[in-house]
Amino acid sequence: MNIRLTVLAGDGIGPEVMHEGLRALERVAKIGGHRLELRNGLIGGAAIDATGEAFPGQTRALCEDSDAVLLGAVGGPKWSDPNASVRPEQGLLDLRSALDVYANLRPVATHPALYDASPLRPERLHNVDILVVRELTGGAYLGEKNRTADSAMDVCSYQRHEIERILRMAGELAGRRQARVTSVDKANVMETSRLWRSIADELFCAEFPQIELEHMFIDAATMHLLSRADSFDVIVTENMFGDILTDEASMLCGSMGMLPSASLNKDRRGLYEPIHGSAPDIAGRGIANPCGMILSVALMLRYSLGLEEEAKLLEDAVYAAVEAGHRTADIGLPDTPPVSTQAMGDAVIAELG
């Protein structure tokens, strides 16, 4: 297979983890006999410094002409002025809009080798395998905004078609898993949630009668995610709630550095990135965990390219490396020196053979 990818290393630790993700991808591509065409683009703070824009037109063109896009991270204190007219996060929002990636998939699966890295007791971590499906292009993050000296407004708005398409994707994915969907909302307070809940009931009754659907308020979901995480299969929710839940869920797996994400459009072309940010406090020190980036590459192989065997090979290699004792600082063991970003990448590649 010929694979055309746009690589956006971004800011902070983005270039460091991207380097290891690409090394792992190149090894898997060689094993599978695939040809890679990698094109590099600028986004976020790096793009602002070079062009004055967070998502330059040249980068947009590359992304729109790719099978998939790999992203490191954006942002940092250099560009953190809230009054700035151009900010790195605008580039990320523009990228999502350009690709129309409305469905953000974040798998959360615990692994016995990392139970010790989680702040939760091991018995709370057994058999956790969750897929969070987050709506990505609507809600308060992208709604109408206004600010004065004494007031501010972020409008949370959703249209029926936006809700239907994310619920439909959740139903389709649940059909390949345990056939259970938990729809998370705040229907006791918010009108958008009331609309969300009514559409969910209609759609699942009509299109997915075989899927067990339950509704849960966001405050209850945040509690149950830590107290009985193994009871969830697929969680579907709106943009802001999904952002919060998946950051919380990272503690089940030991570190945000371990979690990947996929953002898909209707054609399953996607944007793939670890869920962590640019971590400017550790940038350039060679200690960032590249596993979230490497596992994001695996999601790309699965969802956009249909290469399930290669995806599984890469995922297995990551956890084999962890089981063998290779740990970056964020998932380190007491009295065991952590490995560097590159050494972690080396360990994963060695497991690939």
- Among 116, 129, 247, 316, which one carries the catalytic annotation? 247
| pLDDT tens, N- to C-terminus, the chain (353 residues) | 999 999 999 999 999 999 999 999 999 999 999 999 999 999 999 999 999 999 999 999 999 999 999 999 999 999 988 888 899 999 998 999 899 999 999 999 999 989 989 999 999 999 999 999 999 999 998 889 999 999 999 999 999 999 999 999 999 999 999 999 999 999 999 999 999 999 999 999 999 999 999 999 999 999 999 999 999 999 999 999 999 998 898 889 989 999 999 999 988 889 999 999 999 999 999 999 999 999 999 999 999 999 999 999 999 999 999 999 999 999 988 878 999 999 999 999 999 98
312 is catalytic: no
94 is catalytic: no
Helix or strand run (H / E) with residue 145: strand 145-147
- Among 186, 233, 272, 303, which one carries the catalytic annotation? 186
- Among 67, 141, 154, 316, which one carries the catalytic annotation? 141
- Among 233, 243, 272, 319, which one carries the catalytic annotation? 243
CA distance 204 to 194: 16
CA distance 266 to 261: 17
- Is pTM beyond 0.85? Reply is yes
In a 13 Å sphere around the CA of 142, the CA atoms on its Cβ side amount to 19
Name residues whose C-beta falls within 8 Å of residue 270's C-beta, 6 or more positions apart in sequence.
68, 69, 99, 101, 262, 263, 264, 299, 300, 303, 304
141 is catalytic: yes
Q: How many CB atoms lie within 10 A of CB 172?
A: 14
Distances (CA, A) of 319 to 19, 50, 112, 117, 316: 19, 38, 10, 14, 5
- Among 49, 201, 219, 281, which one carries the catalytic annotation? 219
Mind listing the domains of the chain with CATH numbers?
Answer: 1-101+257-353 (3.40.718.10), 119-252 (3.40.718.10)
